[in-house]
Chains A and B, each alone.
Chain A
Amino acid sequence: MSNKREREKRREERIAAEAKVETGDRRTRILQVAAGAAFLAVVIVVVVIVAASSGGDSGGDATKIEHGAEVDRLLSGVPQSELELGQKSAPVELIEFGDLQCPICKANSEEVLPDLIQNKIRTGDAKLVFRNFTIISEESIPAGAAAIAAGKQGRGYNFIETFYRNQGEERSGYVTDEFMEAVAKAAGVKNLAQWNKDRKSPEVLKEVETTTAEASSKYGFTGTPSFLIKGPSSNGYEIFQNTEGAGAFEEAIDKAS
C-alpha cells in the first residue's frame, strides 16, 4: 500500500518537474522570439529613418512636399498681395522674372532671398514682385498659373517658395496637378476649389503668356531669373544682373532708394 502511494507521489513529482521544464522551455522560446522582434524593429526604424533622411532631396514628389512650415516662418508678418511681397508703400520695387522649373531660380530663392527678405523687404525698404517668364517647357505655364492663383488668396509667395524647395528635375514631367495641389496645400492655400478654378482660367493663363512675352520683347531677357529694379533714384525700370548674392541686391536697393 505504502509502495503504491510512494510510486504515485514520485509520478506526480515527475509530471510536475516535466511541466516545469516544458513551461521554462516555452517561456525561453517566447522571450527569444520577442527579443528577435525587438531587434528587427530597431533595425527597420533605423533603416527607414536613414533612407528618409538621405532620399529627401530629390524633389518633384507630390507625396513628399516639405518645407511649407519653413517658408511660412520666412514670410510670416510680411504683407503679400497677388505676386507681390512687401509693403505696397516700399520705395524700391524689385521684379523677378522667373520660371518655377528653373534650378537657378530655386538656388536664388533658397540662398539669397531669406537674407533679402530679412534685411530689405521686412523692413519696408523694398518690395519684391514675381513675374512668370516660362522658358523651360510647357509645364512651366500651369506652374506659373498656379502661383498666380495662389496669389489671389494671399499665398502667392508661399506657393513660389514652397514650389522651389520641392522642385524636381526640369522637364521631367513632375509638374502634375497632384504635385501642384500638394504644394498649394503646403503653402497654406485655403480654398483649393477656387484655386483650381483660378489657375485654369483664361485670364490667369493669359497673364503668364503676357509677362513671358514682356520679358523677352520689352526687356530682352533670355534667361531666368532676370531682375528689374525701380526706385526714386533710378531711371525708371533698370535691368539688374546679379550673380553676387543677397549683398548685391541690398546694394542695388540702397542705390535705387
Chain B
Amino acid sequence: MLRRAIAFVATLGIGVATYITIADSGGGAPTCLAGGGGCQTVADSSYSHIAGVNIAVFGIVGYVLLLATAFFVTDWARFGGFAVSLGGFGFSIYLTYLEIWKIEAICQWCVASAVLMTILFLLNATRLIGYAGTTDGTGTVPERA
C-alpha cells in the first residue's frame, strides 16, 4: 500500500516538474491557475536556474528516483527513498523560503511540487521505520505493494 502510494505521488511529481520544465524552456513560465504574475516572477528570477539548468529538472530526477525505489523491496530501496525524499523535502523548504522572502512571489506549481515532496518524505519515512531490516530472506514481516 505504501509503495503504491509512493509510486502514485512520485508520478504526479514527475508530471508537475515536467510541466514547469517545458513551460520554462524558451523563456516562458508556467501558467498560474488563479491568475496573477507569481509564476512568471518566479520563473524570471535568478533563483530559477542552477548553473543554467532549471531547478525543475532536478525535481524530475528526484521524482524518477523515488518512483524507482517503490519497485524494490530491499533495505537499499527503502533507505534510498528516504534519503532522496529527505533531500527533496529540505530543498523544497529552501525554495519556499526563497519564494516568500527573496523573490517575493508564489508560484502554485512550485508549491504543488513542495507539497508532493513533503508527502513523499512522510511516506518514505513511514516505510523505512515500518519495514527497515525486514527483507524477505529473514522471514520476518514481508512488505507488500
Q: Which of B9-17, B58-66, B79-87, B110-118 contacts A (4 or more CB under 8 A)?
A: B79-87
The one of A24, A62, A69 in contact with B46, judged by C-beta atoms closer than 8 angstroms, is: A62
Asked whether any CB of chain A lies closer than 8 Å to the CB of B140, the reply is: yes
Q: List the interface of chain B (C-beta within 8 A of A).
A: 37, 41, 44-47, 75, 78-79, 82-83, 86-87, 89-90, 93-94, 97-98, 101-105, 125, 128-129, 132-134, 138-140
* A44, B41: Cβ atoms closer than 8 Å: no
For window 8-53 of A, CB contacts with B under 8 Å fall at 16, 19-20, 22-24, 26-28, 30-31, 33-34, 37-38, 41-42, 44-45, 48-49, 52-53
* A23, B140: Cβ atoms closer than 8 Å: yes
For window 118-156 of A, CB contacts with B under 8 Å fall at none
* A30, B90: Cβ atoms closer than 8 Å: no
At the interface, is chain B mostly helix, strand, loop or mixed?
A: helix
* B138, A22: Cβ atoms closer than 8 Å: yes
A residues within 8 A CB of B37?
A: 72
| Those 10 A-B pairs whose CB atoms lie nearest each other, nearest first | A27-B133, A69-B104, A30-B132, A26-B133, A41-B90, A45-B90, A23-B138, A27-B132, A69-B105, A23-B133
For window 89-113 of A, CB contacts with B under 8 Å fall at none
Number of A interface residues, CB 8 Å? Answer: 38
* A182, B132: Cβ atoms closer than 8 Å: no
B residues within 8 A CB of A65?
A: 45-46
Chain B proximity of A210: nearest CB distance (Å): 32
* A45, B140: Cβ atoms closer than 8 Å: no
* A52, B46: Cβ atoms closer than 8 Å: no
Chain B proximity of A166: nearest CB distance (Å): 10
* B128, A70: Cβ atoms closer than 8 Å: no
* B41, A69: Cβ atoms closer than 8 Å: yes
The one of A19, A45, A56, A62 in contact with B102, judged by C-beta atoms closer than 8 angstroms, is: A56
Asked whether any CB of chain B lies closer than 8 Å to the CB of A64, the reply is: yes
* A34, B82: Cβ atoms closer than 8 Å: yes
A residues within 8 A CB of B103?
A: 66, 68-69
Report if A30-B79 is in contact (Cβ < 8 Å); known contacts: A44-B90, A68-B41.
Answer: yes
Report if A186-B86 is in contact (Cβ < 8 Å); known contacts: A23-B140, A30-B132, A52-B97.
Answer: no
B residues within 8 A CB of A88?
A: none
A residues within 8 A CB of B90?
A: 41-42, 44-45
The residue in chain A whose Cβ has the minimal distance to the Cβ of B82 is A34
